[in-house]
Chains A and B, each alone.
Chain A
Amino acid sequence: MSSVYSEIILDYYRHPRNKGTLDHPHIKAKDSNPLCGDIIEMQLELDGNDSVKDVRFNGQGCAISQASASMLTELVKGKKLDDVRSISKEEILSLIGGQLSAVRLKCALLSLKVLKTGVYTYLGSMSNSKEELSGL
Chain B
Amino acid sequence: MIEGLDRYYREYNANVFRGVYQISEEATAAYETARKRIAELINAKDPSEIIFVRGTTEAINLVAHSWGRSNIGLGDSVMLTEMEHHSNIVPWQLLARDKGAQLKYVGISDEGRLLTEEFHGYLENGGVKLFAVTQVSNVLGTVNPVREMVREAHRYNCRVLVDAAQSVPHIAVDVQDLDCDFLAFSGHKMCGPTGIGVLYAKRDLLEKMEPYQGGGEMIREVHLYEASFKDPPFKFEAGTTDISGAIGLGVAVDYLSKVGLRNIRNHERDLTAYALDKLGKLKQMRIYGPADPDTRGGVISFNLADIHAHDMASLLDEDGIAVRSGHHCAQPLMERLGVAATTRASFYLYNTEGEIDRLVESLERAGRVFKI
Contact = CB atoms under 8 A, between A and B. Distances in A.
Interface stretch (A22-30, A59-67, A81-89): A59-67
Contacts of B308: 61-63
Contact of B310 (A3, A10, A104): A104
Interface string A52-75: 000000001111100000000000
Contacts of B310: 36, 38, 61-62, 64, 104, 107
Nearest to A66: B308
- Majority SS of interface residues in chain A? loop
Given A1-B318, A3-B318, A5-B370, A37 B341 contact: yes
Contacts of B369: 3, 5
A4 interface: yes
Interface of B: 306-311, 314-315, 317-318, 326-327, 340-341, 369-371
Interface in A63-122: 63-64, 101, 104, 107
A5 B316 CA distance: 13
A37 B340 contact: yes
Interface residues of A, number: 18
7 contacts: A5-B369, A61-B310, A62-B310, A63-B311, A101-B314, A104-B310, A104-B314
Nearest to B315: A5
Contacts of A61: 308, 310, 340
B341 A36 contact: yes
Nearest to A101: B314
Given A36-B341, A37-B341, A60-B340, A5 B311 contact: yes
A136 interface: no
A14 B309 CA distance: 16
A133 interface: no
